[in-house]
Amino acid sequence: MFERQIAIRCRNVSKCFRRDDGDPYQGLRSKLSGLVNPWARNREPSAGSIVWALRDISFAIPAGGVFGVLGANGSGKSVLLRILARVTKPVSGRAEVLGSVGSILDLGGMLLPELTGKETIYQLGTILRCPRETIVRRFDDIVEFAGIGPHLHSIVRGYSAGTQVRLAFAVMVYLDADVVLLDEALSVADQDFRRRCLERIREMAAQGRTIVLVSHELEMMAEVCDQALVLDKGELKMFGEAQSVISEYRRWVPAPLGTTMRTGNLK
């Protein structure tokens, strides 16, 4: 199954979505016709109605490090993380993740605005399938790291976007998931909190935990990541040591990634 040192392995992972062009009601009509017409429900969609988010992606990530995922908007980064988080499944191939998984993928969908900060800590812990005794043991550390002590009993709706990120990130990094997935989670954080987050990420990696980080901020990625990959229109373009991948990626960022980027692994 897994070699002991491998935390994440993707084997020929592909993911596609149906796109309904033209008539905005086409999707609804298709679903209704499928209810009354089994042939319409089971037939294959036309090639033009399919959007490939990922195509034949294969890589392996060793345990105990920070892994960066790079690419332009729409390249498939968030879809890849959703597959690794077990939120969605690939249409073909296999994604294997060793151990428990924690993720910040959609902050707006994770936080319930009418809960207080204290209630949110327990809510997020429950979503992450963390035992209640662990939440209780880590509670003070989470509050201190997030810096919400004076506002612990205020509802989250009144928190700034940055404070909401701090709270979600603090819960994530103190509840001991084996694999942590972060999708642009630090983009609205201030510089001081970002520095503390990077320090915490390094501590987690040193403890043998695996962090997968998606961001457009190349300086930060170069500073903290051990390995990285580049996606372009759902295809794996580069994979290897982070400094080499990011250096190569910088050369092609101004150009359309689908045109001139050199493909293949970096050694």
Q: Is the separation of the CB atoms in 179 and 98 below 8 Å?
A: yes
Which pLDDT belongs to residue 128? Answer: 78
**267: its two tokens:** 């050694």
End-to-end CA distance of the chain: 26
Give the residue ranges of DSSP H helices in 93-215: 107-110, 117-127, 132-146, 161-174, 191-206
Decide if pLDDT at 14 tops 90.
yes
CA separation for the pair 107, 183 (Å, rounded): 9
The CATH code for residues 6-99+178-260 is 3.40.50.300
Q: Please, which pLDDT band fits residue 10 given cuts at 50, 70 and 90?
A: very high
Strand duo 6-18 + 92-97: pairing? antiparallel
CA separation for the pair 131, 41 (Å, rounded): 42
Helix (H) or strand (E) run with residue 58 in it: strand 50-62
Q: Please, which pLDDT band fits residue 28 given cuts at 50, 70 and 90?
A: low
Which pLDDT belongs to residue 68? Answer: 96
How much is the average pLDDT of 159-168? 86
Task: Give the highest mean pLDDT range of 1-10, 32-41, 60-69.
Answer: 60-69
